[in-house]
């Protein structure tokens, strides 16, 4: 196993450092397309799109050139009191692509901040809009939801493993079971007057382990929000930019939210950039004289960074020039077939969940029931896959596959084969089941 260059001073995210330092990990030095190369010269398929953000592959010529060209102009200039052409053009293009009614783009730099901003905007709207309802300070979120790691986004987070420790730091919000529109209606009927917004990950709850929502659910959520005049925040940080087969997951249910949160794939996975899209109704409530203090008092230093905007524009160009979305359907179909042939028959695979190129493989003991978490079975799959030349990262004992949309059929096949072999090895199922 490759080792970290000693001594390492780096503290890694979501990582138990004791085990990490004992085990070592590849140190990625370069990349090309869907392949990552470490300092020892080993190559790996980027099976999780460098944490769900790479879209068109690494070192994409068009995005590389756009970032280089922007370097020749300006690398950073503030959006506080100034603007720049890339931010203007990107906002125009995002508004054109987004569901109808989302006409204002507020930039930030991560998925967490995109959600944090939507929460604060929704809250502030009800404090100061012409139709102000100051009692509307609460939020509704789904069980098992994940919206980021900042304190506001954790307050609407439903993954107890990550979130419950921080409960004393968080604001209260109503948690409802995912996929159950009746339960949401119930909460809104009882508490609607105190609710500012409902926040959901549309179609797929990614960090929960790729949990799929029943068809029609998002439409019912939108209808319930409308009935109670509550805002709908759709967090498409993970699902946006083609992951579910359409540019945005909302499109599949013909839903237009009041706020749309974007990050990860926005720059094709190149640079940190996020956007919170809002409606004209929302924006209008923030207009007024300075002394009225209707301003949205929020903004990060690197908000709307010009290099990141250049990468985002080039990524949107790549979607058009390479017909990325049109070419996705056959890849998703191939993935479905490969999972059915190679992964589902494995004795320790309890369920395979897939939407577009987002996929979660849930592992379980042969007789059913979860593995003892101390066994770290999902992590074992990661190590076994790594030894075979693919980077996958599990969520507990759910193995995630989420390759760049640009992955070619033969590499997709290799990725699923490696994953199946790695699952067989890590669960002690041997390789016979895979060969069958
Ligand atoms: C749905 C969703 N929202 C928000 C986030 C947080 O994004 P970031 O890690 O860029 O802060 C994530 C990250 O995985 C996510 O999946």
Instruction: For residues 146 and 156, give the distance between their C-alpha atoms in angstroms, rounded to a whole number.
Output: 8
Q: Indicate the pTM of the whole model.
A: 0.96
Our mutation pick for probing the ligand 1 site, out of 111, 142, 152, 262, counting the most ligand atoms within 8 A of Cβ, is 111
111: CA distance to ligand 1 center in Å?
A: 4
Question: Would you give the DSSP letter of residue 252?
Answer: G
Distance 293 CA to ligand 1 centre (A): 30
Contact of 148 with 115, CB cutoff 8 Å: yes
For 31, the 3-state DSSP assignment is: strand
89 burial type by CB count under 10 A (0-12 exposed, 13-18 middle, 19+ buried): middle
Per-residue pLDDT at 219: 98
pLDDT (tens digit per residue) in 340-399:
999 999 999 999 999 999 999 999 998 889 999 999 999 999 999 999 999 999 999 999
Residues with CB under 6 A from ligand 1: 110-112, 115, 146-148, 201, 206-207, 235, 237-238, 263
6 confidence band (pLDDT: 50, 70, 90): low
Q: In angstroms, what is the span from residue 214 Cα to ligand 1's centroid?
A: 22
Question: Which amino acid residue places its CA nearest to atom 13 of ligand 1?
Answer: 148
Q: How far is the CA of 269 from the centre of ligand 1 (A)?
A: 13
Ligand 1 nearest atom to the CA of residue 205, by list position: 1
Which pLDDT tens digit goes with each residue over 224-260? Answer: 999 999 999 999 999 999 999 999 999 999 999 999 9
Nearest CA to ligand 1 atom 4: 147
Read off φ and ψ for residue 77, nearest 5 degrees. -145, 145
Q: How far is the CA of 121 from the centre of ligand 1 (A)?
A: 18
pLDDT confidence of 429, banded at 50, 70, 90?
confident
Query: Whose C-alpha lies nearest to ligand 1, atom 8?
Result: 111
């Amino acid at each position: 196993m490759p080792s970290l260059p000693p001594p390492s001073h780096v503290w890694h995210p979501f990582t138990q450092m004791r085990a990490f330092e004992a085990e070592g990990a590849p140190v990625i030095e370069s990349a090309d397309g869907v392949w990552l190369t470490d300092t020892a010269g080993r190559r790996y398929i980027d099976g999780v799109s460098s944490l769900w953000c790479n879209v068109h592959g690494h070192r994409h010529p068009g995005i590389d050139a756009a970032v280089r060209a922007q370097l020749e102009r300006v690398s950073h200039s503030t959006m506080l009191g100034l603007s720049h052409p890339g931010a203007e053009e990107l906002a125009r293009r995002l508004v054109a692509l987004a569901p109808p009614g989302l006409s204002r783009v507020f930039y930030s730099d991560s998925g967490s901040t995109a959600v944090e901003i939507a929460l604060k905007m929704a809250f502030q709207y009800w404090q100061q809009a012409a139709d102000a309802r100051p009692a509307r300070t609460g939020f509704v979120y789904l069980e098992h939801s994940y919206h980021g790691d900042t304190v506001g986004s954790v307050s609407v987070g439903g993954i107890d493993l990550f979130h419950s420790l921080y409960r004393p730091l968080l604001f209260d919000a109503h948690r409802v079971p995912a996929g159950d529109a009746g339960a949401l209606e119930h909460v809104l009927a009882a508490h609607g007057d105190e609710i500012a917004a409902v926040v959901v990950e549309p179609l797929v709850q990614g960090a929960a382990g790729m949990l799929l929502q029943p068809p029609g659910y998002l439409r019912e959520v939108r209808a319930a929000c409308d009935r109670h005049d509550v805002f709908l925040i759709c967090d498409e940080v993970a699902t946006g930019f083609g992951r579910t087969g359409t540019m945005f997951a909302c499109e599949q249910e013909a839903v237009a939210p009041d706020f749309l949160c974007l990050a990860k794939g926005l720059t094709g996975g190149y640079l940190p950039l996020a956007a919170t899209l809002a409606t004209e109704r929302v924006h209008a409530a923030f207009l007024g004289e300075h002394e009225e203090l209707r301003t949205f008092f929020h903004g990060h230093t690197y908000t709307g960074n010009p290099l990141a905007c250049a990468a985002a524009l080039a990524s949107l160009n790549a979607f058009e020039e390479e017909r990325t979305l049109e070419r996705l359907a056959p890849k998703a179909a191939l993935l479905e077939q490969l999972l059915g042939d190679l992964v589902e028959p494995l004795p320790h695979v309890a369920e395979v969940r897939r939407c577009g190129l987002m996929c979660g493989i849930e592992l379980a003991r042969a007789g059913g029931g979860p593995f003892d978490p101390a066994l770290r079975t999902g992590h074992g799959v990661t190590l076994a896959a790594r030894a075979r030349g693919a980077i996958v990262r599990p969520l507990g004992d759910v193995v995630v596959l989420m390759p760049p949309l640009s992955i070619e059929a033969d590499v997709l096949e290799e990725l699923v084969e490696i994953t199946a072999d790695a699952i067989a090895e890590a669960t002690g199922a041997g390789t016979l089941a895979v060969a069958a």
